[in-house]
């Protein structure tokens, strides 16, 4: 792989290392002994490509992007759209009609961006690093009150309200570290086939309609039973369900609530949806990776998703070690700034993904969780089974 101007390998390693170190710190706080941590950089390189390296029994993967999720030439630059989900494709057509290429070519990139977002879709104009400014710490931890349960990770319960890649990466890593993770999805918005497998590795997965009274009651009960609640929906969406961090702290003190967003809360586009590919283009990563300076490029993997997922898990573990209820917040845009502000790093060494491939169950194979504790490799505790579990935690207090 050719050298890139961005420290992709270093950021990936640092994010995973932060998670493993935080887990070791929590183990020391709980047991009085800190396990020895080991990390293989080649394993990290495979892990941050997990969705691309997922294989069925015939050795086939699943395509991650729909045809309308791509770069388009606008009248004055470039636009990146995201239309993997059917409701996003419908919004893109509402905004631009049937001939999307012609409609984009006739307008400025920022005009297309605004039109599509107003229609409920997703599109961003390609910007340089200087044109995009966002602040805030890489991961923020704000105390919310109440003492957390002082239990080891193998007694920890995590309520996973995330989708796609970043949130599921963070919660499945918590599962690999020993937590009992229950992922909840809306049956009216089914997950895509790729993420229905890759995003449920290591977890129990259930379907729950929070728009119904029974569903709301069950979701609030699960929040009360959980030690950690992780949400990956855009800012404001959880408040409608009574699951914003301050609402949870009011009803269920002593919880660690982690929120993941694309653009960050209270910052540029804080109320908008977003995905890794869009954040890359909007924040200047696309131009930083351009091969010719004429067309935006892309990172060699969905690094923002994966690094942010591991940083989310690290923040959760740090909050648990502190012993107090807390709100942990991370965003893809902050991770993008972290990457962009670093000096150029080392190029990735060639790696064999099959060296880290494991049987996931159900005919699927994928990449094992990265890291070793006291020489023992981490393992996925459950095979992926989207929506197959009851809405309850396996382990009790």
What does the pLDDT look like over 266-291, one tens digit per residue? 666 878 889 999 999 999 999 999 99
Average predicted confidence (pLDDT) for the chain: 94
- Stretch 292-311: mean pLDDT: 97
Distance from the first to the final alpha carbon of the chain? 48
376-377/372-373 β-pairing: antiparallel
Q: Is the model's pTM score more than 0.85?
A: yes
Residues 6 or more apart whose Cβ sits within 8 Å of residue 238: 161, 231, 244, 259
Percent of the chain clearing pLDDT 70 (strictly above): 97
Helix (H) or strand (E) holding 395: none
Structure tokens at 183: 């992922």
pLDDT tens digit string along 169-218? Answer: 999 999 999 999 999 999 999 999 999 999 999 999 999 999 999 999 99
> CA-to-CA distance for 189 and 76, rounded, in angstroms?
35
Which CATH fold topology does 8-62+134-265+300-377 show? Rossmann fold (3.40.50)
- pLDDT for the residue 320: 97
Q: At what angle do helices 166-176 and 303-322 cross, to 10 degrees?
A: 50
The single residue listed with the structure tokens 């972290």 is: 338
pLDDT at 234 > cutoff 80: no
> CA-to-CA distance for 21 and 92, rounded, in angstroms?
43
- Stretch 255-264: mean pLDDT: 94
For the beta sheet containing 123-125, the strands, ordered from the edge strand earlier in sequence to the opposite edge, are 71-73, 78-81, 123-125
Residue 300 banded pLDDT, cuts 50, 70, 90 = very high
The stretches of 210-330 forming alpha helices (DSSP H) are 213-225, 245-251, 276-283, 285-288, 303-322
Contact of 152 with 331, CB cutoff 8 Å: no
Structure tokens at 55: 């294989």
- Stretch 83-95: mean pLDDT: 96
């Amino acid at each position: 792989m050719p050298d890139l101007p961005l420290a992709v390998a270093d950021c990936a390693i640092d994010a995973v290392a932060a998670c493993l170190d935080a887990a070791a710190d929590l183990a020391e706080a709980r047991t009085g002994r800190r396990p020895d941590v080991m990390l293989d950089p080649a394993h990290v390189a495979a892990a941050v490509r997990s969705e691309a390296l997922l294989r069925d029994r015939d050795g086939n993967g699943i395509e991650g992007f729909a045809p309308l999720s791509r770069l388009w030439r606008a009248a004055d630059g470039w636009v990146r759209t995201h239309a993997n989900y059917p409701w996003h494709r419908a919004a893109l057509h509402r905004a631009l009609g049937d001939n999307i290429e012609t409609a984009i070519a006739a307008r400025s990139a920022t005009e297309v961006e605004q039109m599509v977002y107003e229609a409920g879709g997703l599109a961003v104009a390609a910007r340089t690093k200087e044109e995009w400014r966002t602040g805030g710490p890489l991961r923020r931890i704000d105390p919310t009150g109440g003492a957390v349960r002082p239990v080891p990770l193998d007694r920890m319960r995590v309520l996973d309200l995330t989708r796609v890649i970043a949130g599921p990466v963070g919660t499945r890593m918590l599962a690999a570290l020993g937590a009992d993770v229950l992922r909840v999805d809306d049956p009216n918005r089914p997950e895509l086939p790729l993420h229905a497998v890759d995003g449920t590795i290591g977890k129990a997965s259930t379907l729950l309609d929070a728009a119904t009274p029974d569903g709301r009651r069950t979701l609030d009960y699960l929040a009360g039973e959980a030690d950690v609640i992780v949400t990956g929906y855009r800012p404001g969406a959880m408040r409608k369900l009574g699951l914003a961090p301050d609402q949870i702290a009011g009803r269920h003190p002593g919880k660690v609530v982690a929120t993941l967003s694309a653009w960050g809360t209270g910052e540029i586009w804080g109320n908008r949806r977003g995905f890794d590919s869009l954040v890359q283009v909007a924040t200047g990563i696309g131009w930083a990776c351009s091969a010719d300076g004429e067309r935006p490029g892309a990172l060699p993997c969905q690094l923002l998703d994966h690094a942010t997922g591991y940083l989310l898990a690290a923040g959760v573990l740090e909050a648990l070690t502190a012993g107090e209820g807390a709100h942990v917040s991370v965003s893809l845009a902050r991770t993008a700034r972290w990457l962009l502000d670093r000096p150029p790093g080392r190029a990735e060494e060639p790696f064999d993904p099959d060296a880290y491939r494991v049987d996931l169950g159900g005919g699927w194979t994928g990449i094992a969780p990265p890291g070793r504790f006291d020489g023992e490799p981490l393992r996925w505790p459950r095979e992926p089974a989207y929506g197959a579990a009851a809405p309850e935690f396996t382990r009790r207090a």
